[in-house]
Amino acid sequence: MKEYDIIVIGTGGGTKLVTPPSKLGLKVAAFEKESPGGTCLNRGCIPSKMLIYPTEIIRFSEDSSKFPLHFDSKPRADFSTIVKRVSETVDADSRSIPIAYEKNPNIDYYPYYARFVSDKVIEANGETFTAKHIFVTVGTRPNIPDIQGLEGTPYWTSREALRSESLPKSLAVIGAGYIALELGSAYKAYGTEVEGFARAEILSSVDSEIREEFKKHPPYPINDHFQMQKISFEKGLFTLTGKDKYGNSYSRSFEKLLIATGVRPNTDDLGIESTSIELDSRGYIKVNEYLETGSTDVYAFGDVIGRYFFRHTANFEGEHLFQTLIADKKKTKIEYPPVPGAVFTHPQIATVGLTEEELISKKIPYWKGVNRYSSSAMGMARMSEVGFVKVLVDKETETILGAHIIGDEASDMIHQLILAMSLKANLDQMLRMIYIHPALPEVVRNAFRKVKEERIKEKGY
């Protein structure tokens, strides 16, 4: 059996526990069954944003007539060249990871599938390994729904959608979460006729006012509360059959079909049954407040624990474990600061903290401030027709409980609110700050001014 100080299973978020410990002189073994870098680098965050960003330029040009600006022709994208650049860039980045590991005498990289054979022992490629600390960051994979006729057809998941060098004429998107909306929006901008289908509410986890604004200005038509009955594939076309939310029968054919109905954890063939590690009812690894599993000195983090499905939270968890457990040699409870998220659609959505619905259910007293982009100098300059900032402030402490933005640059605009929440800034401090005029963040200030108006009505100051 080979022994190490640290074993890392999965080189996505797990990279936080590979190179940094090696620089302290610890021997590290890293196992990866697919491309190094995990989902984010190879088939998630990075390639999707590289595919999406050019569509923002397309959208700007399409909206230009209201200024009025006119171009000689409709913008046309060289889709195959764009996708080729995306793939080549992420592939090169992925290939560089094991090359860097090979140059480090304290890191052994194993491009094999690893599974547990007992609590502190894993097997890979016919060999067994153990370590003082084992970190499991195997992530998730697309969840495929049980729809009659779907199995065996050449449908896409996000993996295929990010690698297709040809632009389909039509695309059906099943799902209405982050992945579905981002990829559907991108393909629509490139020129594909896109239609979405969801069995429940669109973006069900976001604040309801944000959701309603998005539904008024969707990047492509979306049939919510749709009852899918059957999918067939004949003569190169997918035919979807079902009933819409009004009970009307539906049947239509599409060149491509994207399945983006959530994810499932990669724990079903990890050998969990041979250990003290426990899974929850959804198959995610149970961890305690130290991110430790039921097996002593075996930790898990990232998507596989089912808490937050963001690379930035996986990075935060990995950095916490490295600093406390490895660098400081002290097992410490993890405490999450406000966790933000963004949907890179058109319009963009960004959020941090609690939604208004959560505040109501928790019976937390709050003030609300909502200000539209159009009610600001920069909004006037941009002729903004969509978007607003919504802030929720605790009536007792006057600190920010939640902030939600839909509109231009929402994923950037939210950061001042993430910082404010992390530092526990209060209402007066947010209004005492000088905002650049006429920059877009004045919309945030104006939302807090609306909160102050509510405070004055209630408290007189």
At residue 72, the pLDDT reads 79
Would you state the CATH architecture of domain 340-459? 2-Layer Sandwich (3.30)
Q: What is 2-138+264-327's CATH superfamily?
A: FAD/NAD(P)-binding domain (3.50.50.60)
Domain limits of the chain? 2-138+264-327, 158-261, 340-459
At residue 296, the pLDDT reads 96
Q: Which two tokens stand for residue 254?
A: 């599409």
pTM confidence score:
0.95
Q: pLDDT digit of tens for each residue in the chain (461 aa)? A: 999 999 999 999 999 999 999 999 999 999 999 999 999 999 999 999 999 999 999 998 888 889 999 887 888 899 999 999 999 999 999 999 999 999 999 999 999 999 999 999 999 999 999 999 999 999 999 999 999 999 999 999 999 999 999 999 999 999 999 999 999 999 999 999 999 999 999 999 999 999 999 999 999 999 999 999 999 999 999 999 999 999 999 999 999 999 999 999 999 999 999 999 999 999 999 999 999 999 999 999 999 999 999 999 999 999 999 999 999 999 999 999 999 999 999 999 999 999 999 999 999 999 999 999 999 999 999 999 999 999 999 999 999 999 999 999 999 999 999 999 999 999 999 999 999 999 999 999 999 999 999 999 999 99
What's the angle, vertex CA 13, arms to CA 85 and CA 269, rounded to 5?
100
Burial (CB count within 10 angstroms: exposed 0-12, middle 13-18, buried 19+), residue 71: exposed
Equal fold, 2-138+264-327 vs 158-261: yes
Please state, in angstroms and rounded to a whole number, the distance separating the CA atoms of residues 21 and 248: 59
The SS3 of residue 311 is: helix
Q: How far is CA 167 from its chain centroid? A: 24
Please state, in angstroms and rounded to a whole number, the distance separating the CA atoms of residues 330 and 327: 8
Task: Name the H helices within 325-426.
Answer: 356-362, 377-382, 410-413, 415-422
Pick the CATH number of 158-261 from 4.10.640.10, 3.40.640.10, 3.40.50.720, 3.50.50.60: 3.50.50.60
Please state, in angstroms and rounded to a whole number, the distance separating the CA atoms of residues 363 and 43: 40
Closest CA to 7 of 315, 287, 326, 327: 326
Burial (CB count within 10 angstroms: exposed 0-12, middle 13-18, buried 19+), residue 328: exposed
- Stretch (H or E) spanning 230: strand 227-234
Q: Are 283 and 143 in contact (CB under 8 A)?
A: no
